[in-house]
Amino acid sequence: MPSPITKNTLTSHRFRKNKLSRFMMGALLVAIAAGCSNNAADATSNTAVVNSAQAKTNTTSVDSDAAVVKALQGNLNTSGIEENIVSAVPTDMEGIYWVTAEGLPSFFTDKSGKHIIQGQIIAVGEGAPVDISAALVANTAQDALKAVDKKEMVIYPAKGETKSVVYAFTDADCGYCRKLHEEMDDINARGIEVRYLAWPRSQESVPKMEAVWCSQDRHAAMNQAKMGANVQAPSCVNPVQAHMALGAKLGVRGTPAIFTESGQQIGGYLPAEQLAQTAIDAS
């Protein structure tokens, strides 16, 4: 079994092979170093500015443009960058495409494939501002999270009717993660199923999270870890590093990072009532 490594080391190792990866991950690594920075304010800061629900872009019904993929791949190769471009689909912004690549967060490019664009694209001039990139990001996250085997997650099921499901990248040593976990019974009682994925933020946290996933009773181990206990378990094949890589791909910058089943990231810690209502509204 590979020796425990930090998230920064894992990310650097995975993306060391070319300049594009270093450029794209630079800001993410700075944010990771800040640690458990997500909070209720972070979770809701954009909702008053843009309306992502109005975004019309739908990558599931639009074919990838082979010419853009070929152009972008060629330009990357010319610059000595070895990345495999999977698809490039048109967005609501004329001449701008949403790109999926292996081992990288998704990004935008132009029709010539000469420019790499990261961040939001917000449409204005037709009523309230609309974040057209939000639907694209959500579709990417939805597909990626749906592909994770439930056996690889620590799941706290809803009590009674399941009204919605959320995914939470979590860390044993994060204060906001512990606060969220303290409210798990309340969250579950409101009909919300919580699916935990591992996102250790430091070298010290990696073996703790691996021990949780290697425990016979993951729920008991998770509960203990969230209370600060030093969980011990025999080493095993576990998905912790795969979860870390998935989080990096989805742009996770802190913990807890909570996603709805539709792929929308609704932020960090939210009180049980607000989390439940937000998850149900996004369903």
Provide, rounded to the nearest whole percent, the portion of the chain with pLDDT above 90.
58
pLDDT number for residue 280:
95
pTM assigned to the model:
0.74
**Catalytic residue (one of 36, 131, 173, 177):** 177
Per the annotation, the verdict on 190 as an active-site residue is: no
Per the annotation, the verdict on 36 as an active-site residue is: no
**Catalytic residue (one of 36, 131, 171, 214):** 171
**Catalytic residue (one of 36, 174, 190, 253):** 174
Which residues of the chain does CATH 3.40.30.10 include?
7-47+145-282
Separation in Å, CA 282 to CA 127, 186, 258, 276, 279: 22, 19, 12, 10, 5
pLDDT number for residue 66:
96
Per the annotation, the verdict on 253 as an active-site residue is: no
Per-10-residue mean pLDDT, the chain, length 283: 38 42 46 40 35 43 88 94 89 91 86 92 86 85 95 97 97 95 98 97 92 97 95 96 91 92 92 96 86
79-126 pLDDT, tens digit each:
988 888 999 999 988 999 999 888 678 899 999 999 999 888 888 888
Token pair recorded at residue 128: 């309230």
Question: Domain 52-143, what architecture?
Answer: Roll (3.10)
Which residues of the chain does CATH 3.10.450.70 include?
52-143
- CATH code assigned to 7-47+145-282: 3.40.30.10
Per the annotation, the verdict on 214 as an active-site residue is: no
Q: What is the dihedral of CA 129, 62, 99, 79, to 10 degrees?
A: -130
